[in-house]
Structure 1
């Protein structure tokens, strides 16, 4: 089964950027992740990304390392 991030229309997904720094986002299961700011944006049950800065979730070092594959925890 595809994750919510994988289910986003490819054309739409290509255009989605972080609303805070306008940079690219990583697919992180049911969220889109900004590794520079270490914040995640949820994708609702209808597959719609919630791209509101005040609803972004802070991501801890261990989760950042898991998402990015960076064992050192740095970007």
Structure 2
């Protein structure tokens, strides 16, 4: 999937600008169908309707290999 076709890219800019990690309140990287926090190495999914699920208990842990890919 191209970056333009990702769920992260489809979030309206004013909404995307307001989205931060609910744990450390820091910025998130667009990671396809997720938003990624490289500091905590967790990803927040974006559902099929384009709504970011910003719940700490639903965040997905990211391993070292995926972290390297997402931050490259």
The TM-score range, normalised by the shorter chain, is over 0.9
Aligned residue pairs: how many? 69
Whichever structure has more helix as a proportion of its residues is: 2
The aligned residue for residue 10 of structure 2 is: 7
Structure 2: tracts of 5 or more residues without a match:
none
- Extract structure 1 runs of 4+ deviating beyond 2 A: none
Q: Which has the larger radius of gyration?
A: 1
d(CA) in 1 for partners of 2:53, 2:36: 12
Structure 1: tracts of 5 or more residues without a match:
70-75
Residue 34 (structure 2) aligned to one of 31, 34, 41: 31
